Amino acid sequence: MKISKNSVVTIDYQLMDAEGNVHEASTAQEPWVYLHGHGQVIPGVEAALEGKEAGTEVEIELEADKAYGHHDEELTTEVPRSAFEQIKNLEVGMRLAAEAPDGSHMVTVTEITDDAVTVDANHPLAGQKVRIRTKVREVREATEEEIEHGHAHGPGGHQH
């Protein structure tokens, strides 16, 4: 069965930066399961998997604008060092959950000085070319309920 809109697709994937460092990967026990054609995966990947079948391996390279977008300077904030008193071993590259009026989101520490810490709320791969390697494990038709919900159910999908 070929992947098309409303297919439930099970894939193994590895997300790498342009140098080939792996940033995210599924595991053998926990592949990624998604509903195709509903914007659940980044557009470039969805397009590359269209029409593929179980067993197919696809490796794609995406420019920043097709992956995690451009690096937005406005998402970089300088915070007084005192706000981080509770955090031991604070270092550049550390990922932290930051509380904001619109909820909690992940930021990356990008600079530390004696009195200030710069945090960046961009995705760590924003502004970078990325490589994604996927292997299609399984393709099935979505149920009406899955299409209605806009996501896959069952193992690896939404549990409810």
Cβ contact 24:133 at 8 Å: no
Residue 150's region, left for phi above 0, alpha for psi from -120 to 50, else beta, is left
> Rounded to whole angstroms, how far apart are CA atoms 119 and 111?
7
| Residue nearer to Zn ion on the CB measure, 137 or 149 | 149
* Interface residue with Zn ion, options 5, 70, 95, 158 (CB under 5 A): 158
Residues with Cβ within 8 Å of 41's Cβ and at least 6 positions away in sequence, in order, are 34, 49
Q: From the CB of 148, what's the least distance to Zn ion, in Å?
A: 8
Extract the tokens encoding 121: 């709320």
State which residue, 56 or 143, has the beta carbon closest to Zn ion.
143
Nearer to Zn ion, 132 or 142 (CB): 142
Fill in the per-residue mask, 128 to 157: x = in contact with Zn ion (CB under 5 A), - = not in contact. ---------------------x--------
Per-residue x/- mask for Zn ion, residues 91 to 130, rule CB under 5 A?
A: ----------------------------------------
Q: Which is nearer to Zn ion, 105 or 158 (CB)?
A: 158
Which amino acid is residue 26, in one-letter code?
S
Q: Closest Cα to residue 41, out of 2, 15, 75?
A: 15
Length of the chain: 160
* Binding footprint of Zn ion on the chain (CB under 5 A): 149, 158
